[in-house]
């Protein structure tokens, strides 16, 4: 296999160092499965990487292996990084996938259809640098569930703006050609969405073709071992690649303000007409956003995501965090005093 078949390009070639270039096909704690020109290899991060690198290998990464041992010594700079905030309280980043060109945001047209979740995934995609494509799966259920497919697609297009929106039926549509056509040969797509939206079904429909290709990779594996870590990177017909991510229950943002604002351009445009320049669109007098008739749930979602970003900003800026704590302490103290006076 040639490296270009796994997505190698000039961007990575320029960073090539001593050792063997490889792409991470699966990553689970310390266990990695990587693809090299010679085949699939089980590898581990080296001590130097563990203690000296700001980057930890994620699926999709390009890495350099030692010549003599399957140890990952370096992670090459990423072209794109798909991240979320690590679930739990800490404000830290969890990289879901690296070097993704196209992000397929999969939504089921049954109970799963949720415009607010789509808005959130779109922010994630924008922040990552990947092109978002929304797949509205289970389109075959339109009649049974009594929804107007065209209307839902139009509504989603209005919300998604520059993102492509494709209705799909993984169960009945024998050709997933429209999906595959979105990704050029050598490019990498990733599939993200809640559990049950049909990600595995979509993958399985492509199975016939990529089974042959992946077994070719296996044949080149001189260790002849079987993968214990579930592989997440697959080759698609036509020469593109696909990263399958498990269903994510929680998608907290790891993003900057611009990524959120870009998803809500109309709010920025309307804000120019608000009476106050620093209007937060939370009920101030003369607020052009509130009086525009904008969908209240969309506006609430915008506020929610902005609050998440403010939290992240505070956590990464100790001085801001201290000021916020001091402010709330003063407010609570004042409240206690006023209760006592009462
Ligand atoms: P995943 O959790 O995202 O991988 O979802 P699955 O691929 O396991 O699909 C969840 C359920 O939805 C399964 O029962 C599938 O048979 C069903 N499903 C997937 N795609 C479609 C579709 O296009 N139409 C219909 N009607 N059902 C689908």
Task: Say what the pLDDT of residue 82 is.
Answer: 94
SS (H, E, C) 11-34: HHHCCCCCCEEEEEEEEECCEEEE
User: Sign of torsion, CA 313 316 319 323?
Assistant: positive
Domains of the chain, first to last: 3-75 (2.40.50.140), 81-244 (3.40.50.300), 257-341 (1.10.40.50)
Task: Say what the pLDDT of residue 247 is.
Answer: 67
Residue 201 alpha carbon to ligand 1 centre in Å: 6
Pocket test for ligand 1, best of 171, 192, 198 (most atoms within 8 A of CB): 198
Residue 175 alpha carbon to ligand 1 centre in Å: 16
pLDDT at 157 over 90: yes
Ligand 1 binding pocket (C-beta < 6 A) is: 137-138, 140-141, 169-171, 193, 195-201, 247
CA dist., res. 231 & res. 26, Å (int): 5
DSSP reduced 3-state for 291: helix
CA dist., res. 194 & res. 246, Å (int): 8
Residue that has been written with the tokens 């994630």 in this structure: 124
How confident is residue 129, by pLDDT bands cut at 50, 70 and 90? very high
How confident is residue 105, by pLDDT bands cut at 50, 70 and 90? very high
Task: Say what the pLDDT of residue 218 is.
Answer: 41
- Total count of residues recorded for the chain: 342
Closest residue by CA, ligand 1 atom 18: 198
Ligand 1 atom closest to residue 106's alpha carbon, by position in its atom list: 3
Ligand 1 atom closest to residue 173's alpha carbon, by position in its atom list: 23
CA dist., res. 196 & res. 112, Å (int): 8
Ligand 1 atom closest to residue 169's alpha carbon, by position in its atom list: 23
Q: Which helix (H) or strand (E) holds 73?
A: strand 71-75
CA dist., res. 28 & res. 231, Å (int): 10
Residue 171 alpha carbon to ligand 1 centre in Å: 7
Residue 198 alpha carbon to ligand 1 centre in Å: 4
Task: Say what the pLDDT of residue 244 is.
Answer: 86
How is the beta sheet containing 131-137 ordered, strand by strand?
Answer: 164-167, 131-137, 102-108, 188-192, 241-244, 233-235
pLDDT tens column, 52-76: 888 899 999 999 999 999 999 999 9
- Residue 147, Cβ density class (10 Å: 0-12 exposed, 13-18 middle, ≥19 buried): middle
Residue 161 alpha carbon to ligand 1 centre in Å: 26
Mean per-residue pLDDT, 201-222: 54
How confident is residue 174, by pLDDT bands cut at 50, 70 and 90? low
CA dist., res. 55 & res. 93, Å (int): 11
DSSP reduced 3-state for 36: strand
Residue 61 alpha carbon to ligand 1 centre in Å: 29
Task: Say what the pLDDT of residue 209 is.
Answer: 46
- Residue 207, Cβ density class (10 Å: 0-12 exposed, 13-18 middle, ≥19 buried): exposed
Closest residue by CA, ligand 1 atom 20: 198
In angstroms, what is the C-alpha Rg of the chain?
23
User: In this structure, how many other beta carbons lie within 10 angstroms of the beta carbon of residue 72?
Assistant: 26
pLDDT at 216 over 60: no
Residue 144 alpha carbon to ligand 1 centre in Å: 16
Mean per-residue pLDDT, 171-199: 85
pLDDT at 13 over 90: yes
Least confident of 42-51, 95-104, 146-155, 242-251: 242-251
Token duo for residue 149: 């497919």
DSSP state letter for 254: -
How far is Cα of residue 179 from the mean position of the Cα atoms in its chain?
A: 17
Q: Which helix (H) or strand (E) holds 332?
A: helix 318-341
């Amino acid at each position: 296999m040639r490296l270009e078949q796994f997505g190698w390009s000039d961007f990575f070639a320029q960073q090539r160092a001593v050792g063997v270039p490889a792409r991470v096909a699966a990553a689970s704690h310390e266990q990695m499965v990587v693809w090299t020109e010679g085949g699939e290899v089980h590898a581990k991060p080296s001590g130097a990487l563990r203690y000296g690198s700001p980057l930890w290998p994620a699926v999709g990464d390009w890495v350099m292996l030692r010549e003599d041992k399957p140890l990952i010594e370096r992670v090459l700079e990423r072209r794109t990084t798909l991240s979320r905030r690590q679930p739990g309280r800490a404000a830290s980043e969890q990289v879901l996938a690296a070097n993704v060109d196209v992000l397929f945001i999969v939504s089921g047209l049954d109970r799963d259809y949720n415009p607010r979740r789509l808005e959130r995934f779109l922010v994630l995609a924008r922040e990552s640098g990947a092109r978002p494509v929304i797949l509205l799966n289970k389109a075959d259920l339109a009649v049974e569930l009594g929804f107007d497919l065209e209307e839902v697609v139009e509504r989603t297009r209005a919300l998604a703006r520059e993102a492509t929106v494709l209705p799909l039926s993984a169960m009945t549509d024998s050709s997933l050609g429209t999906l595959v056509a979105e990704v050029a040969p050598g490019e990498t797509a990733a599939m993200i969405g809640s559990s049950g939206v049909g990600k595995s079904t979509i993958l399985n429909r492509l199975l016939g073709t990529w089974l042959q290709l992946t077994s070719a990779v296996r044949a080149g594996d001189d260790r002849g071992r079987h993968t214990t870590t579930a592989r997440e990177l697959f080759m698609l017909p036509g020469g593109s690649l696909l990263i399958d991510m498990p269903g994510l229950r929680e998608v907290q943002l790891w993003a900057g303000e611009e990524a959120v604002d870009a998803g809500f351009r109309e709010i920025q445009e309307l804000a120019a007409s608000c009476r106050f320049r620093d209007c937060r669109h939370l009920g101030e007098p003369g607020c052009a956003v509130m009086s525009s008739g904008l969908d209240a749930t969309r506006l609430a979602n915008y506020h929610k995501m902005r609050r998440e970003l403010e939290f992240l900003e505070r956590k990464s800026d100790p001085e801001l965090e201290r000021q916020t704590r001091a402010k709330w302490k003063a407010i609570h103290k004042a409240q206690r005093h006023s209760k006592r006076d009462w």
